[in-house]
């Protein structure tokens, strides 16, 4: 087992695991809209299925919201 941090919370997970698998395991809502940072570096969406995580990685699931001014 390995420990990674997801959105600030430690998670025990069996390796190997990819970014895409982690998204699925965490039941991320609107996965097509999420951006992912691993150790403060953005992962390209096309790399989600192949980017393998390591013990100690810090992962952030980010949603960018647009807005306007009145």
pLDDT in tens, 4-49: 999 999 999 999 999 999 999 999 989 999 999 999 999 999 999 9
68 confidence band (pLDDT: 50, 70, 90): low
Query: Which tokens sit at 46?
Result: 């096309």
Which letter, b or e, does each residue of 28-67 get, where b requires 16 or more Cβ atoms within 10 Å of its Cβ?
A: beeeeebebebeeeebeeeebeebebeeebebbbeeeeee
pTM higher than 0.85 for the full model? Answer: yes
């Amino acid at each position: 087992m390995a420990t990674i941090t997801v959105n600030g919370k430690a998670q025990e997970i069996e390796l190997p695991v990819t970014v895409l698998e982690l998204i699925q395991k965490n039941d991320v809502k609107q996965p097509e809209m999420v951006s992912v940072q691993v150790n403060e570096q953005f992962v390209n969406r096309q790399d989600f299925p192949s980017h393998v995580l390591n013990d100690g990685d810090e992962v952030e699931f980010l949603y960018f919201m647009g807005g306007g001014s009145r």
